[in-house]
Amino acid sequence: MPKLTKQLKQPTNIRVSLYLSACLLACIFNFRVLQPLVFIGLVPLVFYVDNLRLFSDKQRRIDFYLFGGIITCGANFFMMQISSTNWNVGIRGWFAVAAPIIAWLMISSFCALAWLALGEVLANPKVNRYRLVTLAPFYALCEILKSYLFSAMAYAPHGSLSPNFNWGSLAVPASATNILVLSPYVGFFGLSLVCVMLNIAIYVAIKKSSPGLFILLITTFLLSFWPMNLVTKTSKITTVNDKNVKVIGLEPDQTLANWDKQQIAKNIPEESLDLIVLPEYSGILDNPNYKDILKHLSDEGIVVTSVHSAPAPTGQNNIIFINKQGEIINTQSKTFLIPTGETLPYSLQLVFKLMGRQDIITSFTYTQQISPGTKQEDFFEYAGTKYGALACSGVSALSQYRRLSNQGADVLVNSASLSFLQKNSTYHVYADNMARFQAVSNKKPFIQASRSGSSFILVPQ
């Protein structure tokens, strides 16, 4: 054992283990079955930090930057799964392949600077002595910095510089485990901090050969493999706050606009529904038979979906509430726009201009660009229930649903469309985990209907 320990402490072996750890974490963000490994995936990083004195400044900077780069490449891999055929912009041929690769590498390499900064902080003489103690809070700060770096690189017209772009945060896979129970108390980045602390504790237990502590930590880790039992997941009719709720998901090329009466009866056999949630841009109002859908509502029932208020680029993405009589009783314009989906980042505009493809920018402007709402979304109260509804990317925004919840929303609703992604995109792993986080951290039911992505009802127990 001492001989093995001595071999592991060789600088080359420590560096190799660090890169293997980064590769594991990159996979954790993409495969649901690997998500519980987030509690041990950082142990090699802890090992590296504990032996930081063995490395030169140049080695440390290279290692921390590449460590972050591998993680961000894995977490942002969904960018490689954008289906150009489902994107309204006319990108064809070799450029359809090159464009997502360029965006993926630009974003990932820029966000990796956050880990470079982490290494610099840990190497500071004032911090070095207590580096294992400070690793957890500084790692959480590293993730916040990474989120801001992403928002800076993806900044676009009507965009925002905010910590709402959290691909690559440990809190995302942690939200698939029972550790999510802590989220109402520690928040999103607090979950990341707890993950790092568990990794540090496991490392210390191994280092000190403490069987009692090690067994306790392994038991905690194994428990995380059990399905997250704090929520009920279903796409069928469910009772939420004494309301009969139904969600309807659609395929990428589907719309309610062409549903005939037979399709309506087949897909909505239930009666007296209090809430029907439809995907973003469901097309319900374009269906001449849409009132046949409304007949399935109770007298105080409503439908929630979203519509374009006008053609691009001036149109807005409006969440609407429709009553049984077919009246739009409330409209709220989306304020948090998603880069490349609803607004084109300046960084990509520069790339397109340098490549002589101004036509892509023009095409995007007049097919996909939308304008944000002029005021923040608010909850809407109807028949005694307060609904906090957001469109699509609102599930990623840490502050949006928390604000609606704090204002008094009883039920959180998301009308989504991920049709520009391939159906098996790894983005769905991220989106589902963020939905779990929103439900449990806010202690409110979370209802989502999506085109291409997951449609479900999450009810905290």
CB atoms inside a 10 Å sphere around CB 10: 12
Distance CA 163, CA 88 (A): 28
* Whether residues 46 and 168 fall in one domain: yes
* Whether residues 75 and 176 fall in one domain: yes
> Considering only CA atoms, which of 245, 255, 278, 285 is closest in space to residue 450?
278
* Whether residues 320 and 408 fall in one domain: yes
| Residue 254, both tokens | 């589907």
Please list, in sequence order, all residues whose beta carbon lies within 8 angstroms of the beta carbon of residue 86, skipping any fewer than 6 positions away.
252, 419, 420, 421
| Residue 402: CATH number of its domain | 3.60.110.10
Number of domains within the chain: 2
Please list, in sequence order, all residues whose beta carbon lies within 8 angstroms of the beta carbon of residue 297, skipping any fewer than 6 positions away.
272, 273, 274, 276, 303, 323, 324
| Residue 211, both tokens | 């069987």
* Whether residues 196 and 283 fall in one domain: no
Helix then strand then coil, in percent of the chain rounded to 5, is 50, 15, 35
- Domain end, chosen from 223, 241, 269, is at 223
Domain membership flag for residue 9: yes
| Residue 139, both tokens | 């790692």
Residue-by-residue pLDDT tens, the chain, 461 positions: 454 455 556 889 999 999 999 999 999 999 988 998 999 999 999 999 999 999 999 999 999 999 999 999 999 998 887 765 445 555 666 666 777 788 889 999 999 999 999 999 999 877 767 888 899 999 999 999 999 999 999 899 888 888 889 999 999 999 998 889 899 999 999 999 999 999 998 888 888 877 777 676 776 666 665 544 434 444 455 777 778 999 998 888 888 999 999 999 988 988 899 999 999 999 999 999 999 999 999 999 999 999 999 888 889 999 999 999 999 999 999 999 888 888 889 988 988 888 888 888 888 888 888 999 999 999 999 999 999 999 988 899 898 999 999 999 999 999 998 777 766 788 889 999 999 999 999 999 999 999 888 888 888 87
Domain membership flag for residue 445: yes
Omega of the bond leading into 460 within 30 degrees of 0 (cis): no
Domain membership flag for residue 270: yes
Show the domain range for 11.
2-223
* Whether residues 274 and 204 fall in one domain: no
| Residue 336, both tokens | 């948090």
Pairing of strands 273-280, 297-308: parallel
* Whether residues 175 and 237 fall in one domain: no
**Global confidence as pTM:** 0.90
| Residue 278, both tokens | 């439809």
* Whether residues 212 and 261 fall in one domain: no
Please list, in sequence order, all residues whose beta carbon lies within 8 angstroms of the beta carbon of residue 416, skipping any fewer than 6 positions away.
279, 280, 391, 392, 395, 431, 448, 449, 450, 451, 453
* Whether residues 214 and 251 fall in one domain: no
